[in-house]
Amino acid sequence: MSSQEAAYIDICRRKQAAQQALIPASWRLKSLPDESVTDVRGIPRACGILSDREIEITETFDAVELAEKIRRRTYSCYEVALAFCKRAAIAQQLLNCLTEIFFEAGLERARQLDKHLADHGLPIGPLHGVPVSIKDDKAIVGYDTSCGLASLCFKPARDNSAIVRILQDAGAVLYCKTNIPQTMMAFDSVNNIWGRTLNPLNRKLTPGGSSGGESALVAIRGSLLGIGSDVGGSIRVPAMCTGTYGIKPTSVRLTSNVGPGGFGTPGSFAVGVAVSHGPIATSLRSCELFLKVVADAKLWETENYTVFSPWRTIDAKPRQMRFLVLPTDGAMTPLPPVQRLLKETAAQLQSRGHKVDVLENPPAFLKDNFKHYRMMMGGAGGSGHLVDLIESTGEPMIKPIVGKVRRQNPITVDQLFERNAVRDTFLANSLKLWKPATGQDYDAIVTAVAAHPALRHDTWEYSGYTSMFNVLDWPAGVLPARNVTREDLEAPISEGTGSVWDRVNRKNIWENNEDYLGTPLALQVVARKLQEEELLQAMHVVDEAISETRGASIRDHKL
């Protein structure tokens, strides 16, 4: 290494070389598609690396069905793990979506699970033999939790994150970690260690962040169930961008246990915005399985940031529900594809006998929701500890976090009280959304994930439609709806609020909009705090209502 070369360069070089050495020669693609090939989802099936049986295993089922096939011994844990390790290796070559690779450890775990099933006749848990991918911010013993920071490389974890322990106890096979943005504080998954993750549906567009590696891997079916985290939309935005399912639970329903490169100053969760951990998957019921597994693990007995919350069984029979459709947050007016989708969804729900109110003119307090989020993310001292980690090896900041991750003067206790008072007023006003002028309270809120479709790389700035529910700490999930059509692109743009965000949306995003044709649109469904069971019930209802538009049956929908 040259004496003039920054330390991060050698660190990144060594990490990349070690990662590439972990992909067997027989799993390497003979050639990579050129830039003109934007949709690469068909390449794993056609490349010749996967056998017909491995294609069947990776493309036919969701996590729930696959677990049942393993229990019935239709497939062995080992052959399932091998199929997904190979497909994840292909995905890495196409999309750059992985960080830490531990295929051999996953295969050894699968062998042990096969032996257990042969010896005892029963699985060790509901995820017995199911491969599960993990976002890079979760600690796994023996592997780095770098969070896109060179200074955290070559420092393997000594303890497992709580979610990792739960998955292992449930019988899951862990085989890889997935890519994130540097510091995880961006909606593009790019960093100096691993580079940029691409969207398998359209490589010109972002797969989202910060759980972008997870969403890309799931969308190309290198995983059926991945675990992400969300502090402003980092599960929901990637799910939208890649047409997958994702759920951000209430933060205290799971755990705030993250790696050392996490958000904010350590210990700031009580005064800032808490992190939520949740699933990204190929089906809604796979997300539900994960949430139930975590609830049944009784995290409140071992984790400081969780509450007593056993999983509740809710009547699954269809019933008339009441929805509030929120077509805008008052700050960034949705573009035509999103506006049209929300109107279609309201009509589809009504046609199935559900009550729907559309809040055409949102209350004035909502337009400040993103300002509240950024205020709370400032916490008690900004992100100076992240700046320290970046500067310690001389690495540059990635474009999306320049100006956002910076040193700030610590706020006083009185200023903290003032911020909390503003937040509390916002919380109190927001609770009124659940109560219509007449009739029963709403069962769920339906709104957009963003005011626009998935964006080009390094252009995502506004997260008001998702971060609002992090400030409120309400559970929220994302459903794939339909693709952007030619009619969407040609529809006139409605009058906006005139805000700076509207100007950005119209000029920077919607001009030259041909890249969005055929890309996924999604819906966000929201429930009250700690009501994940009610959220899933409402998501199933919405999922069923939009199934004809999407062209697939909902409960068994597989990407």
259 band by pLDDT with thresholds 50, 70 and 90: very low
Res. 270 pLDDT band, cuts 50 70 90: low
Sign of CA dihedral 180, 185, 188, 190: negative
Tell me the pairing of strands 195-196 and 276-281.
unpaired
Contact 221, 197 (CB under 8 A): no
- Cα 177 to Cα 8, 102, 133, 211, 314, distances in angstroms: 21, 8, 6, 11, 34
Answer yes or no: is 233 a known binding residue. yes
Q: Among 232-246, 360-374, 380-394, 433-447, which stretch is predicted with the lowest mean pLDDT?
A: 380-394
| pLDDT higher than 50, residue 99 | yes
For residue 277, give the DSSP letter.
Answer: E
Find out whether 232 is annotated in a ligand binding site: yes
Question: Which of 21, 20, 28, 16 lies closest to 194 in space, CA to CA?
Answer: 16
Share of the chain above pLDDT 70, in %: 94
pLDDT per residue as tens digits for the range 109-135: 999 999 999 999 999 999 999 999 999
pLDDT at 2 over 60: no
Predicted pLDDT at 439 = 86
Count of C-beta atoms within a 10 Å radius of residue 171: 24
CA distance from start to end of the chain:
46
Secondary structure in 3-state letters for 65-132: HHHHHHHCCCCCHHHHHHHHHHHHHHHHHHHCCEEEECHHHHHHHHHHHHHHHHHHCCCCCCCCCCEE
Q: Which of 21-35, 269-283, 367-381, 504-518 has the lowest mean pLDDT?
A: 367-381
CB of 36 closer than 8 Å to CB of 61: no
- Tokens at residue 258, please? 């993250």
Range among 81-90, 319-328, 358-367, 508-517 with highest mean pLDDT value = 81-90
Q: How far apart are CA 59 and CA 510, in angstroms?
A: 34
Instruction: Please name the residue ranges forming H helices in 179-283.
Output: 212-219, 236-242
The Cα 266–Cα 455 span in angstroms is 32
Phi, psi of 522, deg, nearest 5: -140, 160
Question: Is 376 annotated for ligand binding?
Answer: no
Strand partners for 228:
278
Report the b/e string of 221-247 with b at 16+ CB within 10 A: bbbbbbbbbbbbbbbbbbbbbbbbbbb
- Please tell me whether 171 is known to bind a ligand: no
Task: Please return the burial class of 295, using the count of CB atoms within 10 Å of its CB with bins 0-12, 13-18 and 19+.
Answer: buried
- DSSP assignment, residue 251? G
Is 231 annotated to bind ligand?
yes
Confidence class for position 382, pLDDT limits 50, 70, 90? low
* Rounded Cα distance, 270 and 305, in Å: 9
Q: For a pLDDT cut of 90, what percent of the chain falls above it?
A: 77
For residue 485, pLDDT beyond 70: yes
**Tokens 């047409």 belong to which residue?**
243
What span, in angstroms and rounded, lies between the C-alpha atoms of 482 and 557? Answer: 13
Lowest mean pLDDT among 214-223, 263-272, 336-345, 499-508: 263-272
- The pLDDT-based confidence of 272 (bands split at 50, 70, 90) is confident
Reported in sequence order, the residue ranges of 359-486 that DSSP labels E, i.e. its strands, are 444-448, 476-483
Bridge partners (DSSP) of residue 479 are: 523
The three-state DSSP-derived secondary structure of 256-276 is CCCCCCCCCCCCCCCCCCCCE
| Beta-carbon contacts of residue 478 (< 8 Å; ≥ 6 apart) | 235, 236, 239, 240, 244, 245, 246, 247, 449, 522, 523, 524, 525
Residue indicated by tokens 């292992």 = 168
Q: CB count, 10 Å around CB of 538? A: 24
Three-state helix/strand/coil letters over 320-387: CCEEEEECCCCCCCCCHHHHHHHHHHHHHHHHCCCEEEECCCCCHHHHHHHHHHHHHHCCCCECHHHH
CB 60 within 8 A of CB 96: no
Angle (deg, nearest 10), helices 77-95 and 52-60:
80
* Domains (range + CATH), the chain: 7-28+45-301 (3.90.1300.10), 322-550 (3.90.1300.10)
**What confidence tier does 556 reach under pLDDT thresholds 50, 70, 90?**
very low
Question: Which tokens is 118 given?
Answer: 């042969």
Which residues are part of the catalytic machinery? 135, 210, 234
Residue 184 assigned ligand-binding role: yes
- Amino acid letter, 353: G
pLDDT, one tens digit per residue, over 171-181 is: 999 999 999 99
- Measured CA to CA, the distance from residue 304 to residue 287 in angstroms comes to 24
